[in-house]
């Protein structure tokens, strides 16, 4: 990389950082719905067209900002959940930072969650957000089943996030699905996963006992 290319890259990174900081500040002060991309550009001291080089729409700006916050909450939650038992308590611990952040800014969180699920498929910021969701689901699956979770644990983890997503979205609409109800749903999902795991183990033991003496299991 030449000195000129290096300078251009630094300039791009600096502009992106200014746009990110401006969007984060304005969203926190006024709420996502009340902020325009022109305001973000003015706050970042860049042209409006420059903003669109880094985020093609205001929704992409929201994803850019909230991805960073969501990632931090997920990492903190999973770290704090390590070693917590039973699994229901561990999962709740993993979700707690995300739920707390959402409670502070319900409308913006709901908008972010909607963009994650229904946003533009080609949006790289959405892809980044979905990768964070996948990381959270993988972490929940490991809280259930250890370092090598199977399909059932991953299915249970996806069900947990689906329930959490509903809580995060409905918080801004006055919905009655509370954190206490989410805890009940998590307990139900974990109980179902436990029963399925026990049943699978019983079937495996039954199959082994059914193998005639002297024969090897194929």
d(CA 112, CA 97): 16
The tens digit of pLDDT for each residue in 45-91 reads 999 999 999 999 999 999 999 999 999 999 999 999 998 999 999 99
On the question of pLDDT at 218 being above 60, the answer is: no
CB atoms within 10 A of CB 70: 24
Specify the pTM. 0.84
Residue with tokens 């390590």: 82
Query: Does the structural domain 57-209 have CATH classification 3.30.40?
Result: no
Alpha carbon distance 217, 206 (integer Å): 12
CATH 1.10.357 maps onto the chain at 57-209
User: What one-character DSSP code corresponds to residue 33?
Assistant: G
Domain with CATH 1.10.10.60 in the chain: 1-54
102-145 tens-digit pLDDT: 989 999 999 999 999 999 889 999 999 999 999 999 999 999 99
Identify the architecture of domain 1-54 in CATH: Orthogonal Bundle (1.10)
pLDDT of the residue at 172 = 66
């Amino acid at each position: 990389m030449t000195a000129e290319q290096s300078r251009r890259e630094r300039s791009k990174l600096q502009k992106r950082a200014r746009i990110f900081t401006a969007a984060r500040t304005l969203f926190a002060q006024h709420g996502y719905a009340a902020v325009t991309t022109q305001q973000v550009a003015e706050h970042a001291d860049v042209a409006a067209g420059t903003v669109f080089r880094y985020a093609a729409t205001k929704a992409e700006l929201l994803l850019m900002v909230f991805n960073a916050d969501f990632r931090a909450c997920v990492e903190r939650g999973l770290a704090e959940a390590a070693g917590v038992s039973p699994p229901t308590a561990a999962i709740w611990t993993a979700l707690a930072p995300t739920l707390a952040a959402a409670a502070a800014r319900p409308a913006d969180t709901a908008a972010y969650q909607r963009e994650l699920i229904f946003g533009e498929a080609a949006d790289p910021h959405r892809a980044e957000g979905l990768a964070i969701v996948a990381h959270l689901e993988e972490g929940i699956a490991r809280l259930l089943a250890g370092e090598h979770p199977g399909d059932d644990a991953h299915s249970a983890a996806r069900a947990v996030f689906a329930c959490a997503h509903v809580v995060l979205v409905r918080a801004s609409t006055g919905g009655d699905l509370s954190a206490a109800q989410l805890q009940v749903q998590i307990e139900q999902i974990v109980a179902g996963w436990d029963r399925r795991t026990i049943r699978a183990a019983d079937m495996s033991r039954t199959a082994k006992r059914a193998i005639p003496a002297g024969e090897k299991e194929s």
